[in-house]
Amino acid sequence: MKGGLMRTVRLGVSSLLLHKLRSILTTLGVLFGVSSVIAMLAIGEGASKHAQELIRELGSQNVILRSVKPPEDVVTGGQQSRMASYGLTASDFRRMRDSFPGVVRAVPVSILQQEVRYESRALNPRVLATTWQYRDVTGRPICEGRFLSPDDERSVSNVCVLGYEVARYLIPFESAVGKNIKIGSEYFTCVGVMLPRVPLSADPPQAGADVTGEVFIPMETGIKWFGDIQVKIRSGSREMEQVELHEIYAQVDASEHVELVANAAKAMLARNHNQMDYNVVVPLELMMKEEETKRTFNIVLGSIAGISLLVGGIGIMNVMLATVTERTREIGIRRALGAKRKHIVTQFLVETVVLSVGGGLLGIALGLLIPVIVEKTANMPTIVTPTAPLLAFGISAAIGVIFGLYPAWRAANMDPVDALRHE
Amino acid sequence: MPTKEAAQARDRAGEPVVELTDVERVYRMGNNEVRALDGLTFTFRAGEYWSIMGSSGSGKSTLLNLLGCIDRPSSGSYRIRGTEVATLDDDELSEIRGQHIGFVFQSYNLIAQLNVLENILVPLFYWDEPPPDAEERARMLAERVGLGGRLEHKPNELSGGQQQRVAIARALVNNPAILLADEATGNLDSKTAQEILALFDELHEEGKTILLVTHEPSVGRRAEHTLRLSDGRIAEVTHNREGAST
Ligand SMILES: Nc1ncnc2c1ncn2[C@@H]1O[C@H](COP(=O)(O)OP(=O)(O)OP(=O)(O)O)[C@@H](O)[C@H]1O
Ligand SMILES: [Mg+2]
């Protein structure tokens, strides 16, 4: 059969077109199976990648201590104003830095409540007073200029580094480096701009929009101008909060030691704090948990996809068996005219493969469309890996072959005389 | 197996095309045995035109199925163009059918989704190496049976007589050693039947070997010779003036 396969495919397609509706309905199972595989993989991949990025930004070799407002006392203070004092302290930081084997460097962060202003534009971003090592610990990249330096600290200079969003908002059309930025009531020289944390949309933020961003200043400078205890007055209430350090980043020499350091830090904090006003975050653990979640997700996804493809395959097999019965006479005629068993097998197998691959291709189209819609409407990141459509295509072709074999075999093994006599 | 060309060269008038020796076909159903063919020995020669007659159940269809290689004898020998068929496997039988047999059925048996031209081409479709002039051949045959203008029509757009003409063209497309027809006119009105029979007469004139199974004596007499079966045996052989003279 030279070039015969092409003719067989054409023949198969024309047979399928005789029953258009039936053929389309038959492919639905495979269609939805394949499209759900692709769409779910894309959504899962996107969500997981996003989570991984957020975690990686925290640093996989870091242990992060955070101040947490402890649960409210049951007894309220009545009319009098209350001052809640909690959180990490400078001595916690020193202990982390000096007395933990395995901690390479430790970085304190305290977050100031200060207005940031350039000319007429003002914002209320997080102002982070920290040390020059912050960048080494978090690995966050600079987009322009430089980060804080040891010199800045030694000379307690009024310099700041702006987060990308803050720079874009305050000084939209020029480079922010070298500009004098007013933080609180002091002027700071901008020495650099950080890259954004998560990829941003292309449009510049609208004026007055809620721009969350960050501004970095040297720790000592922060203490000099704004004190070493941060008092936060909640608007609309009389409550005040007093926190010394909001975060401590401790970088560990090797991933294997992260857990050790984390446990030691917890023990140390438990000894020195009489309330649960802290929290220990281990990005590595989060990462592993995230991996675990992803694996579970993939298993669930795989099962759903497998079941729907199985159902699709059985649907195809069912219809093909009916077709074989319906076309018994045609099979008899072809056999009487010289068709061998393999010709009949090929003919019916080609039809099921055309059905399932047709369903698979439509499924791929739908499966590529769904992530786009999800991204647009639910604002969730999705990632279509090139292997997903290929995999789906391969699976749908395999389904055609697997579920087509039995009907084709049935067709080919009919006795030609009986088949001819069939009404 | 001899090549097709060699086989055709040997198909000179009078040479044996089909040789049956002690052929039996027994159907077993539980403890019952039906001897549909009971020790048949006969030779059909090139260029002969036979009708096969006999009462219902006498084994005509069984014989034709054997000759057409869609069935195998229970015992005995069956040679077609010198090749022993009785011992061939399924694939080899298919090969013989495609290469050497032309079959015309009572109920036309065209394939519904194929048009006239495609239907005529079906036997060549299964050749390992289809002849290069396949389509030309099919067109000529369609012309020959008077359907040259309807190549694109589907079977359900044709009358019964036209469908049977397509079936005859299809049976001829592989240049068969023998043309077998089982009640080929049974479904047709008498006028159309006459047209089909006239076509068989023409094919006979051209030297084709033809076997025609029929119930009707008038049809049977159109053939050169008549073989009458009874209970799976040869009851009578007649040579018809009518068939021989025209
Ligand atoms: N598949 C079968 N299974 C069992 N018995 C069969 C089978 N086919 C035919 N027979 C029997 O074999 C005998 C010959 O049948 P066959 O079909 O050859 O008769 P026929 O001469 O063609 O009859 P008709 O003129 O009615 O077509 C009958 O007795 C029939 O019952
Ligand atoms: Mg019969």
Contact (CB<8Å) B90/A330: no
Domains held by chain B: number: 1
Q: Which structural domain range is residue B20 located in?
A: 3-244
Cβ of B214 less than 6 Å from ligand 1 = no
Q: How much is the average pLDDT of A193-220?
A: 64
pLDDT of residue A198: 54
* pLDDT higher at A206 or B183: B183
Residue A197 has pLDDT above 80, yes or no: no
- Pick from B97, B109, B129: CB nearest A338: B97
Ligand 1, residue A418: give the atom nearest the CA: 1
Q: What is the reported pLDDT for A201?
A: 40
For B111, the closest of A330, A340, A341 (CB atoms) is A330
pLDDT confidence of residue A61: 84
Residues of chain B under the 50 pLDDT cut: 1-2, 6, 9, 243-246
Residue type, A99: S
Distances (CA, A) of A356 to A175, A228, B175: 57, 69, 39
Q: What percentage of chain A has pLDDT greater than the value 70? A: 90
Sorting pLDDT into bands at 50, 70 and 90, what band is A206? very low
Distance B60 CA to ligand 2 centre (A): 6
Reference A337, options B101, B239, B75, B209; nearest CA is B101
What was the pLDDT predicted at B243?
45
Query: Which of A98-102, A280-284, A300-304 is the least confident region?
Result: A300-304
- What does the alpha-carbon distance between residue A293 and residue A179 come to, in Å, rounded to a whole number? 46
Residues of B in contact with A420 (CB under 8 A): 70, 105, 109
CA angle B43, B94, B20 (to 5 degrees): 15
Q: What is the pLDDT of residue A120?
A: 87
**Per-residue model confidence as pLDDT tens digits over A18-55:** 888 888 888 888 888 888 888 888 888 888 888 877 77
Judged by a CB distance cut-off of 8 A, whether residue A15 touches chain B is yes
pLDDT for residue A84: 73
Contact of B66 with B37, CB cutoff 8 Å: yes
**pLDDT for position B242:** 56
pLDDT of residue A24: 87
Interval A407-417: pLDDT, tens: 999 889 988 98
Take atom 11 of ligand 1 and give the residue whose Cα is closest: B36
pLDDT in tens, A122-170: 888 889 999 999 988 888 888 889 999 999 989 999 999 998 888 888 8
Kindly give the distance from the C-alpha atom of residue A61 to the centroid of ligand 2, in angstroms, as a whole number: 88
Give the per-residue pLDDT at A285: 84
CATH number for position B68:
3.40.50.300
3-state SS of chain B: helix, strand, coil percent to 5?
35, 30, 35
**Summary mean pLDDT of chain A:** 84
Give the C-alpha separation, A243 to A86, whole Å. 6
pLDDT band at A74 (very low <50, low <70, confident <90, very high): very low
Residue A340 has its nearest CB partner, among B68, B91, B103, at B91
Ligand 1: residue of B23, B26, B34, B52 to mutate (most ligand atoms within 8 A of CB) is: B34
* 8 A C-beta contact, residue B62 and residue B71: yes
The region of weakest confidence among A237-246, A385-394, B196-205 is A237-246
Which helix (H) or strand (E) element contains residue B62? helix B60-67
- Residue type for position A363: G
Pairing of strands A142-145, A126-130: unpaired
Residue A208 has pLDDT above 60, yes or no: no
Report angle CA A228, A233, A239 to the nearest 5 degrees. Answer: 115
Q: What's the burial of A134, exposed, middle or buried (CB within 10 Å: 0-12/13-18/19+)?
A: buried
pLDDT tens across A346-363, in order? 999 998 999 899 999 999
Ligand 2 centroid distance, CA of B61 (Å): 4
**Distance in angstroms (rounded) separating the CA atoms of residues A92 and A167:** 33
Q: What is the pLDDT of residue B162?
A: 94
**Token digits for A371?**
């992530």
Confidence of residue A236 (pLDDT cuts 50, 70, 90): low
- Cα gap A224→A186, rounded to integer Å: 11
pTM of the shown model: 0.72
- Which chain A residues contact residue B89 at CB under 8 A? none
Provide ipTM, 2 decimals: 0.91
Per-residue model confidence (pLDDT) at position A235: 61
Determine what percent of chain A is predicted with pLDDT higher than 90.
22
pLDDT at A80 over 80: no
**pLDDT bucket at A113, cuts 50 / 70 / 90:** confident
Q: Is the pLDDT of residue A199 over 50?
A: no
**Phi, psi torsion values for B53, nearest 5 degrees:** -125, 175
Residue A73 pLDDT exceeds 70: no
Whether B59 is in the pocket of ligand 1, judged by its Cβ within 6 Å, is: yes
Mutate to test the interface with B, among A333, A337, A342 (most CBs of B within 10 A): A337
